[in-house]
Structures are given as structure tokens and as C-alpha cells.
Chains A and B, each alone.
Chain A
Amino acid sequence: MTSIDYNAFRDEVRDFLATSYPASKRELNQRQAGMFAEPELGQWWQRTLHARGWGAPSWPVEYGGTGWDAVQKHIFMSECTAANTPSFAVQGLAMVAPVVMKFGTQAQKDFFLPGILSGELYFCQGFSEPGSGSDLASLRTSAVREGDDYLVNGSKIWTTHAHFANWIFLLVRTSTEGKPQQGITFLLAPMSTPGISVRPIISISGEHELNQTFYDNARIPIANRIGDENKGWDVAKYLLEFERGGAYAPSAQGMLEAAKKIAAQQPGDDCATLWDDPQFQRKTAELEIDMLAQAATEHRVMTALAGGNNPGDIVASMLKLSGTALQQAASELCVEALGDYALADQRQSLHLSSNIPPIGPDYAARPVAKFLNLRACTIYGGSSEVQHNIVARAAMGLK
């Protein structure tokens, strides 16, 4: 076994970030507070990573993964977080791609995986419906066979970045027989399909990331189905493990560092800066310790898994529960550090195309919108209440 020089690897990542993520783009990213960066920036970053061969660190090598071990992945992610790289949409790379790898035909793998890796295919997720949120299996958007197609009718809601995406993955109802889970099918469709339309939903941060999408006799080829008809629930469950699993600590730690930086620039009440206030430092330390525990568990899980494997739903749920709480706590600390400028609505400066300066200091632009948007992380991907239910049932046998 050849041993990896992690220090050399870290230097390599740092060099790459220093040269490939220029100040001009870093400044643009300061104007991004949504769940995901606007695609102009997010997809640029994905292309940049792809050009370096680092487009999909979590994928198996055969599909274009990096072949890094857990430590390398961790180093990479921490360095990206420290450099504040754009958070690009994960629906393609981290959600639909693993599903295509596991359930897709060869033709589907050949078409979708390279497109996702390069950033050409930009996916959004069409699971939730107005009447079906936590109770996803009750979904009603219907798909009826006609020739080589399904005719799809219904509506999906909370479809993040549907207005940017060129593809969507959908859960549709193909049967009303038996348990609701048994009549669901997983489809992929171009957003340009006639009959698909998009209505914007404005978030409490004032940003447009969410949408409601409508399906009016939208014709989706049967060839775009992933897995068997009426077996879409298994596909969806597998996908949700990836949506929930993954690493929460690096982003939480990144926001904690941001809070410290803000505190170092904000005045204190009885001391020069807020960072000089022992109470603030103590609070930061306490949160940092919770994050160390989260990071250690995430690391334990990562090392226990071979590349490309799914984490399993109990572990994924536990990581999501504590990880999202830490992300929220860290973003709340950034807001607290801001003081009175936390009251200012900064939405006008939070666009790539905006040249309106933030209200107050430059670092005041993002934290509040970020905090508001992050309230959703305990709601989407299965709410915290739902995760508690899953762990209670699956891990502890409680009914």
C-alpha cells in the first residue's frame, strides 16, 4: 500500500484554489446568500473543478471520481470551505447521479453522468407537491402511458432552481393499487418539455430560488424512466440517503469562522471589539466543540464506507439532525455578531448582477439572508421531526 502525503495534497488543493478561484469571483460569491449560488457562478465553478479532474470527488473512479480517500475528501472540502467557494446545486451531482449509477441502464449512464459532471445538465428535484410534503408517498402527480411516452399531469412545489434547470427528476404516480409507495415511478425530463411551466415563489430572504412547477399533459419518454415502473419509491429512498447524508460540519465550521471574523471587526460594548468579549468567545468555543463531535462522527462514517456507497438511512438521518442544527446555530451567531445591521434588508445587493453596495460594512451583506434561508435546512430533505421518527422506528424499534 502506498501511503498518501496529505500535506502535499493539501498544498496542491491550496495552490489550485489560489490560482483557479480569483478575487473577482470571490467577491461575486459575497453577493450570494441562497441555498445554491446562481448557476452563472455555480456552474462556472463546477466546470473549473471538472477541468482539473475534481468535478465529483464522491463518485467512483469509473464514472469520473477522484479516487481520493476519506482524509483527502475531508481536506478538499475544508479547504474549499475556508476559501468560501460557491455552493453549487447538488441535485445533479449528489442526488440524481448516484441513482443513475445504481438503477440506470448503460445508455442512461452514458448520457447523464458525463453531462452532470461537466455541468451541462442542470437538474432540479420534483418530489414535493402542495398536498404531499412530509407524507411524500401520498403524491398525486399522475403519469399515464401513451405509446412510448408517459403523459404527466399535476404540480410540484418548492422546486429549487427550476427556473435555471434544464432537467428535472420527478416522482409520479403510475398506480393507485396497494400501498401508496407501490405506485410511484421515477422519471427524468427536460425542462423544455411542452406542458411543463414554472411559477416563482419568493423566499423570506426576498430571493427567488423556489418555484411551483406545473405539468399539463407533459409527454415524457418511457426511456427516461429510472428503474422499473411502480418501483420509484426504492429509487427515491436511495436518493434521499444521499440528500441527507454527506458532510454538515465543514459548512457549519465555515460559518463559525465567518462569525469570528465579523466579531473581530465589530465594536464591543465594553471592549475594543466584540471578539474581545469573553462571553462571545465562550459561546463560540461551545459551538466549536459541538462541531468537533459532528465532524468526528462524519469522519467515522466516511472511513467506514467504501467510495460510492450509501450511508444507510439511520446514519444519514442522525447526521442531518445534528448537522443542520449546527448550521443554523452558526449562521445565527453570524447574525448576532452583526449587531444592529442585522435589521437591514440586503436583498438588493444579493445578486451577481447587482452593483448596489451593502448597507453597513461589506460583511453585513450575507449573514441575515443566509440565516433566513437556512431555516429551511431542518424542513427540506425530510424535516427534523421526520428524521426523529425515522431514527425512533429504525434504530430503536419504537413505533
Chain B
Amino acid sequence: METPLSDDQRMIRDSVAGYLRDRYDDAERRRIIDSEAGWSAPHWQAFAGELGLLGAGFAEAAGGLGGGAAEHALILEEFGSALVVEPYLSTAVIAGGFLKASTAAAAPQLIADAIAGTAIFAYAAGEPNARSNPAHVETRAECRGANYVIDGQKAVVLGAVGATHLIVVARTSGGDRDPEGISLFVVDANSPGITRRDYRTISGGPASDITFTGVTVPASALLVPEGTALPLIERVVDEATALLCAEANGVMRRLHGDTLAYTSQREQFGKPLASFQVLQHRMVDMLVAMEHSQSITARAIELLDADPAERARAVSAAKVYVGKSLRYIGQQAIQLHGGMGMTDELAVGFFFKRAIEIERQFGSVEYHLTRYTRLANAPAAIAA
């Protein structure tokens, strides 16, 4: 099913899709993840320059294209269908979201650099002792004169390897799960006191565990006033979650498409696998899950500007539905490929593994189901 797009939107989608088809196919992606860095600076430069994508979500006055979540979604869905590993989500959506809301003096310049492709961001939020609750922050930032000193650990930070800056969530006051007292800092990725253990995610992209030991930053590194960051974090992470669902839709499109192609060509018992009714029904169920995922994602994106409770409910609903669909479509894609699905030789395995990752990023099905339940059944929601 096609979704109506404006001319500008169609142009963005077609140029991204064309670029990926011509320059970022499965073989190229494999070359990138097999390289030492695990991501590609030349492609990033092309996203910035040739395609001009990195300004998609910024105002024209700031040098951007004046788009928003809808444009990010088009780009990320295409990125999902090619398993692009470069840190678009953390740079353009997450850092972009924080910088647009930021009161910091450095924000306009960082936005300009992000659009130019020279500033690349990783989001250092998750911690080894926290699960998905965004208020659970044990990393501390202590105010010392004109500086803050950051100590703590961040886990499974995606894209830190190539990042020039880290967006760090740290606690300036309060207990470990206190909603108050959370602050956001933009930190030079090469600051003294930062140590990384770099590794790969199961689908091959770069990730790191990061330790901050006495990392000193000036007070101007604060993106919003000290201790007040949680509502902004919740909004930006909701937006990122909805856009991750858009990426997931691209992943599912390939899982379904590759399965259909494989079962149409592979023969057993003298006929194509796709002629077996049980497999036909399975692929129909995959398609239905995919279409609903598209729709519930679009719905969440439309509600990103609604009041926080409604926005959060819509985003959690999308993440639950998309997470379940990723699981179903991914597992069935492997099953229907038989032995070939179990190898690293076809692309389908990498799409399956990316599906597993997305299912967990920014909270699993269980997390968002609980969050949705709490929001949907809150006394105010019932009274309204």
C-alpha cells in the first residue's frame, strides 16, 4: 500500500532509495561492517553533501531543509531496507532534537556542523545498572566552579566509534531513579577521561561501552538548564523511537521481500516453495503485520506534537506492535529460508539480527506494553 507524499517528500525518498540501490548494496554494506572502523566516512559525507540529508530536520533559517519527523521517517525507512550503519538516528534525530531545544550558546554552530557532516553524535544514555527507564541515571556530573566533572558508565552506545561528540545523560542531583536532577551535556568524544570498549552489534554496526572518569566539561556544555532534562529526553526519545519504527518498516520490507523471492525460486518436491499453501498463508500474515506496522508508525509520527501523555501512548503503541511484527516477520523469514537462512552468506540473516536489535532499542515490547498500560489506564485517561 502506498502512502501519499508531497513532491518534496517523494524527491527525498527517491534520491535516498536511488543512492542506496546504486552505492550501498548488500555487498557494500558487508565491506563496511568488515572494515576496521565499521562505518563509512565517505558515505556520511555523501549523505551530507550530495544528498543533503543531514539538514532534513532543521529549520531553513538554521541551514536545514525545514522538514521534521515525516522526512526523517522517509529517510530511515530507506536506511532500514539497506541496513545503513551510519549514525543518522543519533546525529540527525537525537542530537538534532536536543540541539533544536537547547539554550546552549554552542548549539547553532553544532547544528551547522551536523548539517555539514563534520559533527557526528552518539547518544550515551543507557547504563549497565539500568534497563529502559529513562529516569534511571547513575552517571554523575558534579558542579565544580565553572565546570562539571562526569563519572560513570554507559552501556551499548551505538556509533560512538566515529562520533565527534557524545550527548551524555548525567545526574546532577537526586537518587538513581529520581525524575528531577537529570542533565544533558554535549561532550567532545576525545575528552580526557573517556575510555571505550568498542565492539560490534549482532548485525555488524559499531557499538561501545564507555567509562567516564573525571571527565571535565565547561558549564556551557549543558544543553538545557541543570537538572531539568527529563521531559526533553522523553520527548526526543519518543521521536527517536517512532523513527526507529520507521527504520524497522524498511527492515521488514526486505525480510518479507527476500522471503517471497527466495521461496518463489527455490524448489522442493518438484515445485517452488511458494506454491505450498501453508507458506503462502505465512507470507500473507507477514504482509499484514508489515502493513499495520507502517500505519501505526505513521500514526505515532503524527502524534509526536500532541500532549506528552498522548504522544507517549502513541509511540509505545507503535513500538509494541512493530516489535511484535519484527519478531514474527524476522523469525518466519529465517524459517522459510531453511538452512540458507541460518548462514551469514545471505543478507536475510543480517536483517533478522537488525530486527532483534530494534526490538530492544529504546525499550522492548514488554517495556512499552507496561508504559502504554500505565498511560492508557491512568485515572485522567479514563475520565476523559
Contacts and interface: CB of A to CB of B under 8 A. Distances in A.
A341 B130 CA distance: 11
Contact of A270 (B133, B201, B202, B269): B133
Interface in A356-372: 359-361, 368, 372
Most buried by A among B197, B276, B279, B353: B353
Interface in A309-345: 335-336, 339-345
Contacts of B361: 340, 343
A29 B184 CA distance: 42
B339 interface: yes
A134 B207 contact: no
Contacts of A267: 129-131, 136
Contact of A340 (B126, B270, B343, B345): B126
A388 B282 CA distance: 14
Given A134-B269, A204-B349, A376 B156 contact: no
B353 A383 contact: no
Interface string A178-204: 000000000000000000000001111
Contacts of B269: 134-135, 138
A340 B155 contact: yes
A201 B343 contact: yes
Given A133-B268, A210-B343, A267-B129, A204 B352 contact: yes
Interface string B334-370: 1100110111110001001100110011001011001
A379 B360 contact: no
A378 interface: yes
Interface string A216-235: 00000000000000000000
B199 interface: yes
Given A359-B209, A379-B339, A385 B279 contact: yes
B133 to A, nearest CB: 4
Contacts of B366: 279-280, 283, 336
B339 A128 contact: yes
A379 B199 contact: no
Given A340-B155, A342-B360, A360-B155, A133 B202 contact: no
A268 interface: yes
A376 B352 CA distance: 14
A157 interface: yes
Contacts of A376: 339, 342
A50 interface: no
Contact of A368 (B158, B202, B268): B202
Interface in B295-312: none
A360 B131 CA distance: 13
B375 to A, nearest CB: 14
A158 interface: yes
Contacts of B352: 204
B140 to A, nearest CB: 17
Interface in B147-166: 155-156, 158
Contacts of A138: 268-269
B209 A133 contact: no
B228 interface: no
| Chain A interface SS verdict (over half) | mixed
Contacts of B261: none
A203 B136 contact: no
A266 interface: yes
Contacts of A89: none
A210 B342 CA distance: 10
Chain A, interface residues (CB within 8 Å), range: 35 or more
Contacts of A380: 339
Contacts of A279: 366, 370
A269 B209 contact: no
B1 interface: no
Interface in A251-310: 266-270, 274, 279-280, 283
A10 interface: no
A360 B209 contact: yes
B344 A375 contact: no
B360 A340 contact: yes
A384 interface: yes
Contacts of B338: 133-134, 379, 383
A344 B278 contact: no
Contacts of B276: 385
A206 interface: yes
A368 B335 CA distance: 17
Interface of B: 126, 128-133, 136, 155-156, 158, 197, 199-202, 204, 207, 209, 268-270, 276, 278-279, 331, 334-335, 338-339, 341-345, 349, 352-353, 356-357, 360-361, 364, 366-367, 370
28 contacts: A128-B339, A133-B339, A134-B338, A135-B270, A157-B339, A158-B339, A203-B343, A204-B334, A267-B136, A269-B367, A279-B366, A280-B366, A336-B364, A339-B131, A339-B360, A340-B155, A340-B156, A342-B360, A343-B158, A344-B207, A345-B201, A345-B202, A348-B199, A359-B199, A368-B202, A375-B335, A375-B341, A385-B278
